[in-house]
Amino acid sequence: MYSVLDKDTIEMEIVPYLPMPKRGFPPTVPLVEIVNAILYKLKTGVQWHQLPTEVFFKEKTLSWESVYYHYRKWCVTGVWKTCWIGMLDRHKSELDLSSVDLDGSHTPAIRGGEAVEYQGRKKRKTTNALYLSDRQGLPIAMSEPLAGNHNDLYNIEVQFEVVTATLEKANIKVEGLFLNAGAGFDSKDFRNSCEKKGVHANVCFNKRNGNTDRDEYFDQKLYKERYAIERTNAWMDSYRSLLNRFDTTIASWLGFNYLSFMAIFLKKMKSKKFK
């Protein structure tokens, strides 16, 4: 059976952040086995009711409903994001923050749900979110998901605050970062948001905004390094539960996103083949 992460890695890096219930009975199986089953769902995109639970548990086998119950509980309480922030804090020396890349991504929402609307370019209903990656292409933060009828600049001040807050909570200094962003982010609101945080915005000029001979800073050579975030998108698309959104709630979809961040980071850190 395919395993996304080995059990030792799950036990050391993820399980410590999973809270034990304050009331009621403790889990009847090791948490590492539950997480292993959830990661399998993330990677393969298999429907919950088709999850082959019998292969993940040694002593007592949980039903797929029980696995889903734990996943949803941890999603609703924000455990996966807390786990990711803790992991970032612990291993931030592995990041390459010589520059970072920001990009938006529309995910088709197959079953509808929260933050879902029709997106003309995709010709289907989608959910939009902003993703931040380091120079190696490792995903490190994301915004709150928005309905697909909104572009990347919608409510950008708030969304950029969400992205940078993730880094700040992980004790990663935001001030002084060099940030690459495409022409879709060429706006005064976004540049002001970066300036308030002390972030050096390297944004490609948008021809729709008129004359490109402007005073704003733009380094073409640095911008060419932005290809790394395309690699990020490819890594994340390899997790089938993210390629198309079947979750109707934002909490569940965010959970899979942060789990993919952890899986990508831990696998790349273990292999030491970032570049």
Q: Where are the domains of the chain?
A: 7-77, 95-242
- Tell me if the domain spanning 95-242 has CATH number 3.30.110: no
Looking at residue 3, what is its pLDDT?
A: 82
Question: Backbone dihedral region of 272: left (phi > 0), alpha (psi from -120 to 50 degrees) or beta?
Answer: left
Mean pLDDT, to the nearest integer, of 200-220? 83
d(CA 38, CA 18): 13
Mean pLDDT over 175-187 rounds to 95
Q: What is the biggest distance separating any 2 CA atoms in the chain, rounded to whole angstroms?
A: 68
Does residue 273 surpass a pLDDT of 60? no
Average pLDDT over every residue of 160-177:
97
For 77, the token pair is 């309480």
As given in the structure block, the two tokens for residue 262 are: 């952890």
Mean pLDDT rounded to a whole number for the chain: 92
Total-model pTM: 0.93
User: Mind listing the pLDDT tens digit for each residue in 234-252?
Assistant: 999 999 999 999 999 999 9
Is residue 53 over pLDDT 80? yes
pLDDT at 274 over 50: no
In the structure encoding, which two tokens stand for residue 105, read together?
Answer: 């991504």
